[in-house]
Structure 1
Amino acid sequence: MDALDLLVRNTSEVLTLEGTHREKAEVALTPRPGACVGVRGGRVAYVGPEKELPAGAVGPSTEVVDAEGGFVGPGFVDPHTHLVFAGERSAEFDLRNQGATYLEIAKAGGGIVSTVRATRAASEDELVRLALPRIHRLLAHGVTVAEVKSGYGLDLENELKMLRVVRRLGALTPMELVPTLLCAHAVPEEYRGRREDYVRLCIDEIIPAVAREGLARFCDVFVEDSAFTVDEGRRILTAARAHGMVPRLHADQLTACGASELAAELGAATADHLEQVTESGLRALAEANVTAVLVPTSTLFLRMRPYAPGRRLRDAGLNIALGSNVNPGSAMSENVALVLGLACLENGLSAAEAYWAATRGAAQSLGLQSHGRLAVGDAGDLVVFGCASYRHLPYHLGVGHARVVVKAGRVVVRQQMNSCA
């Protein structure tokens, strides 16, 4: 065997996640007690007992990482973020804590449109500078892949600018970024009273321009009473699909508005949020095999109830993914550990189901079949945790335990921490 580039040894267990979401999650995680992991050429080359490593596997150039009894799993995949933006909305946060609602703040000129003003005014260089620390905080939690949406430009020039920033960030950081066009995030101020003109702008100009530059893999629409109607969402996503982009939806977050049914109708990759999903919407998603992306930090941040019914979605047979929803208005946090804890405490998932949702389930939602898993041949993205079991992650609420983060076989984060066993 040719020498490995990296070997991680002395683990409590390695979670390879070679199962499916239809299995019991504890089984789907496919734990390998005491295994080691070898990476070569950016791909997993060996998983198994250290004593069975082939001759020549460890050479002079092999980097050896001692897990010190911690567990190892694939890098986290964050399937829902808004990492690129300018400005901040701490004043709105304060207003919400005094009783103002999300919709009241939006109608008063705050909300998404306030971030649009700041983002339009920022240069590409400034947006890159502002986003880099957010990416590094996610990396420190063990996130090696993240989806990133536009949606704070809301015109041709600025939506293109945001997606170009995403492309630049992907070249500047170890994190793999998956771009999503979200021109249908809100109706911009200059189009108030002219909704149809803005929908036509999305369909006739923004989507074709993004497709020509190859700037987005997905197209998302915020279907909501305060954003876009089901019919508008259908038209925009149908146009995007004709240009090679895969549909996704912000669905049933604030009201039950038929967005889940639309996601099923369109065969969307994901329906995200789902706090207000109805039983008919849930059944439609299950029948269409749409992944449910839960973002519980956002529900907490907005002081809303209920949380998305993760237990019912899981029991209905849906693949579940967990996202941070990092954004300036409804989830200003890169704390993936908090996401895992809330998914158990409030969405009703088990620790194993939450871990699946943050790794393999999320990767599948983005169409990344070799990510979120540690089988031979998969991407060499992995995390060495400072605890012996994945069950500790949601239990030790809001505390990150990623000690070493590896992207494509290269150590990109190394943090000192005491064992939490």
Structure 2
Amino acid sequence: MSWKKAVPLNKPVKSRAREKVDLLIVNADELVTLSSETKKPRVGKQMRELGIIRNGCLAIKDGVIVAVGKTPEVTKIYRAEIILSANGKTVLPGFVDPHTHLIFAGSREDEFQMRVEGASYMEILSAGGGILKTVRETRKASVEKLADLGIKTLDTMLEHGTTSVEAKSGYGLTTKDEIKILEAARRVNQLHCINVVSTFLGAHAIPPEFKDNPNGYVNLILEDMIPKIAEKELAEFCDVFCERGVFNLEQTRRILVASKNYGLKPKVHADEMSMLGGAELAADVGAVSADHLLFSSVEGMKAMAEKGVVAVLLPAAAFSLMMGRYADARLMIDSGVPVALATDFNPNCLVENMQLVIAFACHFMRLTSAEAITAATINAAYAICRANEVGSLEVGKKADAVILDAPNHKFLGYHFGVNLVDKVIKNGRVVVDREKQDEMVLIRETE
């Protein structure tokens, strides 16, 4: 007969000590995780699947998410000195803004009045205004001045919940000035807690000195700008404004193919003012994204869907152009195109607020709140090749999160014209706290 040592029923069982983390966010009415088993941008009905956890909790250590789940389950395992209650609130990933023209000098409020009075964007550009006006101001500015302006803009973006942005050049249009802008973007990325991903957009407009020789300017981009920018590793992407009166399809293709040979990933400003075939070209060259797309054809959308090109839609830009037309987001989603949203922050569209962009997407392009949130987080992260780091609240990703003073995600789009942000967490640190607004400091990385 074998005997087993009896365990007294009244002897307390010692529980395992809870692991200490840096930060716990607990009791969220909705924790919007955007988690997914498939490591691809969301398409179709997937864009409505937010992975919501009620009474949700995040555990954060060393700037990284270490646990996601219901509050009672996570807090059984983890403890922290800093605990943020999200009771009555919604927690979601920090917004990702995948299309901005962050670095520039000057403003164009006079042209806003011209648009109100009926002038078109292309008419203003043809008369030497628009992009070319900003080029004149930006060429005169120093790297330090441009960086200071960029940091000021990022402060406002951060207050509204944006934690990662893409930043294009394009207001220099000389090799020296394009490099200057990208150096300013690099400096801003080093100084500010928001992550800045740089795109070379030398093909933004034909500068006045090449007005009668546009192919000469294309050759300058191919033979001088791209090689030097690639050598200095100042940009990850190359973009082209493919439009009538700017860069045609053949010129766009030459620039993007050449940039790929130097390791720059292609993007395209496509079909913003007219149906030129930019969407089809984006698919053909294997672009990461095609942006704007107000006039894209059904064939172009199908081609993008087949190649997995992300459609970055910019409803605030369309709103500012006063054209009364927006990209057909519903057809894109129904066609299987992955859709992202961005501000298109630039001197013609001074919008830093992704919450407002989400509202515009809902009201003008008929996205649901869930689709718009997907487009402003995980799909936006795919549009800048950062989905392995940000865009969703999953174990192992950067702890970039926003706590909204709203009981559920549907308030994004529904309640607009205000800032719903209560707190912003960037790399595991509380960098915006509106409950302590009088003493709020926007924390910048100086390492």
TM-score > 0.5, shorter chain as reference: yes
Deviation at 1:104, TM superposition (A): 1.1
What residue in structure 2 maps to residue 361 of structure 1? 379
What residue in structure 1 maps to residue 203 of structure 2? 184
Asked if structure 2 preserves the Cα contact closer than 8 Å seen for 1:25 and 1:356, the reply is: no
- Distance in 2, matches of 1:194 and 1:237, equals 20
What residue in structure 1 maps to residue 317 of structure 2? 298
Q: Report the number of matched residues.
A: 415
1:311 aligns with 2:330: yes
Deviation at 1:191, TM superposition (A): 0.8
- Where do 1:282-361 residues align within 5 Å? 282-329=301-348, 331-361=349-379
Q: TM-score, normalised by structure 2?
A: 0.90
Describe the superposition over 1:381-400 as per-residue Cα deviations: whole angstroms up to 9, x where unpaired. 00000001111010112322
What residue in structure 1 maps to residue 78 of structure 2? 57
- Distance in 2, matches of 1:348 and 1:311, equals 7
What residue in structure 2 maps to residue 46 of structure 1? 67
What residue in structure 1 maps to residue 99 of structure 2? 80
- Distance in 1, matches of 2:364 and 2:280, equals 24
- Distance in 2, matches of 1:57 and 1:117, equals 55
- Distance in 2, matches of 1:179 and 1:219, equals 9
Deviation at 1:370, TM superposition (A): 2.5
- Letter matched to residue 348 of structure 1: R
Q: 1:332 to 1:27 in 2, by over 3 A?
A: closer
What residue in structure 2 maps to residue 5 of structure 1? 22
What residue in structure 2 maps to residue 18 of structure 1? 35
Aligned with 1:53: secondary structure?
Answer: helix
- Distance in 2, matches of 1:238 and 1:301, equals 32
Q: 1:380 to 1:92 in 2, by over 3 A?
A: same
Which of 148, 167, 171 is 2:186 aligned to? 167
- Letter matched to residue 85 of structure 2: D
Aligned with 2:311: secondary structure?
Answer: strand
Aligned with 2:253: secondary structure?
Answer: helix
RMSD: 1.5
Q: 1:280 to 1:55 in 2, by over 3 A?
A: closer
Q: Which has the larger radius of gyration?
A: 2
1:224 aligns with 2:243: yes
- Where do 1:183-202 residues align within 5 Å? 183-202=202-221
Aligned with 1:104: secondary structure?
Answer: helix
Q: 1:354 to 1:56 in 2, by over 3 A?
A: closer
Deviation at 1:305, TM superposition (A): 2.8
- Distance in 1, matches of 2:285 and 2:223, equals 20
Unaligned runs of 5+ in 2: 1-17, 438-447
Answer with 358-367 or 278-287: which moved more: 278-287
Asked if structure 2 preserves the Cα contact closer than 8 Å seen for 1:199 and 1:232, the reply is: yes
Answer with 332-341 or 152-161: which moved more: 332-341
Asked if structure 1 preserves the Cα contact closer than 8 Å seen for 2:31 and 2:92, the reply is: yes
- Letter matched to residue 344 of structure 1: C
Answer with 274-283 or 85-94: which moved more: 274-283
- Distance in 2, matches of 1:175 and 1:78, equals 11
Asked if structure 2 preserves the Cα contact closer than 8 Å seen for 1:336 and 1:400, the reply is: no
Q: TM-score, normalised by structure 1?
A: 0.96
Deviation at 1:58, TM superposition (A): 1.5
Aligned with 2:103: secondary structure?
Answer: coil
- Letter matched to residue 133 of structure 1: K
Deviation at 1:237, TM superposition (A): 0.5
Q: 1:40 to 1:195 in 2, by over 3 A?
A: same
- Letter matched to residue 22 of structure 2: D
Deviation at 1:284, TM superposition (A): 1.3
Between the aligned residues of both structures, percent identity stands at 40
- Distance in 2, matches of 1:335 and 1:246, equals 26
**Runs (4+) off by over 4 Å:** none
Deviation at 1:206, TM superposition (A): 0.5
Q: 1:257 to 1:34 in 2, by over 3 A?
A: same
Deviation at 1:68, TM superposition (A): 3.2
Aligned with 1:24: secondary structure?
Answer: helix
- Distance in 1, matches of 2:112 and 2:213, equals 30
1:371 aligns with 2:390: yes
1:107 aligns with 2:132: no
Describe the superposition over 1:299-318 as per-residue Cα deviations: whole angstroms up to 9, x where unpaired. 00110132000000011111
